């Protein structure tokens, strides 16, 4: 299977519920076409480098998935027709990828980030002064 990533920008004026609806729509489209969604990473609202469809901000989403070439055409077609999508770009990352192996790598990265965040929180508690005053 080929490994792709599509970065797309959603209209920033949509509610959280509508954003999740758009994200679910494209995730389901990948799975309907016999692809495997490896990672869905919501980056949130960010300022655009230039105005797109008269918007200066957008909600960024990164979708990484495995499948054949027809999946890309179908996902891009859906994005072109959906008025809530401001912009999108798809990049082929690999010609031969194992979806299960990629999912395992993503899960390991997520666990590593969570343990690092937990370690940062515990180290901050250790460095705080006990009486509220700095020494």
Q: Are 52 and 88 in contact (CB under 8 A)?
A: no
Where in the chain are the domains? 2-97
| Tens-place pLDDT, residues 79-130 | 999 999 999 999 998 888 776 777 777 777 777 767 776 677 666 665 555 5
Q: Please give the CATH number for the structural domain made up of 2-97.
A: 3.30.70.60
With cut-offs at 50, 70 and 90, classify the pLDDT of residue 135. Answer: very low
What is the DSSP track for 34-103? Answer: T-EEEEEEEEEEEEEEEEETTEEEEEEEEEEEEE-HHHHHHHHHHHHH-TTEEEEEEEEEESS--HHHHH
**Predicted pLDDT at 123:** 65
Single pTM value for the model: 0.76
Q: Is the pLDDT of residue 132 over 70?
A: no
**Predicted pLDDT at 21:** 95
| Tens-place pLDDT, residues 4-40 | 999 999 999 999 999 999 999 999 999 998 888 888 9
């Amino acid at each position: 299977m080929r490994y792709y990533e599509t970065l797309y920008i959603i209209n920033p004026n949509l509610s959280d519920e509508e954003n999740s609806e758009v994200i679910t729509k494209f995730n389901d489209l990948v799975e309907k076409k016999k692809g495997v969604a490896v990672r869905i990473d919501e980056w949130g609202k960010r300022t655009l480098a230039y105005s797109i469809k008269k918007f200066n901000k957008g909600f960024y989403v990164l979708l990484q998935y495995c499948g054949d070439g027809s999946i890309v055409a179908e996902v891009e077609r859906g994005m072109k027709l959906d008025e809530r999508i401001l912009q999108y770009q798809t990049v082929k990352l690999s010609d031969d990828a194992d979806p299960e192996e990629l999912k395992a790598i993503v899960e390991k990265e997520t666990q590593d980030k969570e343990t690092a965040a937990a370690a940062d929180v515990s180290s901050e508690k250790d460095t705080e002064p006990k009486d509220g005053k700095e020494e």
